[in-house]
Amino acid sequence: MKKIVDLKYTLRGLVIACGIGYILASFTPLPFWVAFSVVVFSMVINGIIADYEDNLPGGFNKPMSQEEIQLEKARRRKRLFPYRLTFWIIFIVTMAFLVWRLSS
């Protein structure tokens, strides 16, 4: 039967999270349990993102040749262009508005 959670690695992760949570609680006004929860939540989210990236084409679990990587980058660049353009327009308009409001 395949183990879903390996207890040894889970305990190591919790000890590391406990240490980082203690350090975070020492330098901020957060209580220890809140800092510990933030660290555990961050570690879980980081693991989910890393797993997602590893399973993408060209990632650790699905390696690609250089030609396939270049084609995928070009396809992604073309697909994301409208979003990037929209972001930059909103950013420039927001900065211009803030400069106008702060200068008056």
DSSP codes, 40-102: HHHHHHHHHHHHHHHTSTTSSSS---HHHHHHHHHHHHHHHHHHHHHHHHHHHHHHHHHHHHH
> Residue 103 has what pLDDT?
80
75 touches 69 (CB < 8 A): no
Q: What is the pLDDT along the chain (104 residues), one digit of tens a residue?
A: 566 777 888 899 899 999 999 999 999 898 999 999 999 999 999 989 998 888 887 778 878 788 888 888 899 899 999 999 999 999 999 999 988 888 87
Encoded tokens for 41: 């939540």
- b vs e for 43-74, b when ≥16 Cβ sit within 10 Å of the residue's Cβ? eeeeeeeeeeeeeeeeeeeeeeeeeeeeeeee
> Residue 1 has what pLDDT?
55
> Residue 39 has what pLDDT?
93
Q: Which residue has the tokens 């000890």?
A: 15
Encoded tokens for 32: 């220890």
The per-residue pLDDT for range 4-30, each reduced to its tens digit, is: 777 888 899 899 999 999 999 999 898
> Residue 101 has what pLDDT?
85
Encoded tokens for 43: 């570690």
